């Protein structure tokens, strides 16, 4: 069973989503994806916590992983 790319919550009730970007691509090599030459989804988030500190989080997964998460 593969490990979920969502190891910890990205947002909580007191966080503010600053920016959301996504792209669909074709992987030719990757450290985290075993299935190469298949489409993947990359999501980039910028989140501000209560103090206003902005943190970035990026997640890359195959289409089947994206559909089940």
In tens, the pLDDT along 35-62 reads 567 788 999 999 998 888 999 989 888 8
pLDDT over 90 percentage in the chain: 20
Tell me if 60 is assigned to some domain: yes
Tell me if 25 is assigned to some domain: yes
Q: What is the pTM of this model?
A: 0.61
d(CA 54, CA 21): 15
Instruction: Label each residue of the chain as H, E or C.
Output: CCCCCCCCCCCCCCCEEEEEEEEEEECCCCCCCCCCCCEEEEEEEEEECCCCCEEEEEEEEEHHHHHHC
Tell me if 57 is assigned to some domain: yes
Tell me if 3 is assigned to some domain: no
Tell me if 8 is assigned to some domain: no
Tell me if 47 is assigned to some domain: yes
Signed CA dihedral, 8, 22, 54, 12: sign only: negative
How many domains are there within the chain? 1
């Amino acid at each position: 069973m593969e490990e979920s790319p969502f190891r910890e919550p990205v947002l909580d009730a007191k966080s503010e989503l600053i920016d959301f970007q996504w792209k669909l691509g074709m992987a030719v090599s990757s450290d985290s994806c075993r299935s190469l030459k298949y489409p993947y989804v990359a999501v980039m988030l910028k989140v501000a916590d209560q103090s206003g500190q902005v943190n970035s989080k990026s997640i890359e997964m195959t289409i089947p992983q994206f559909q089940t998460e």
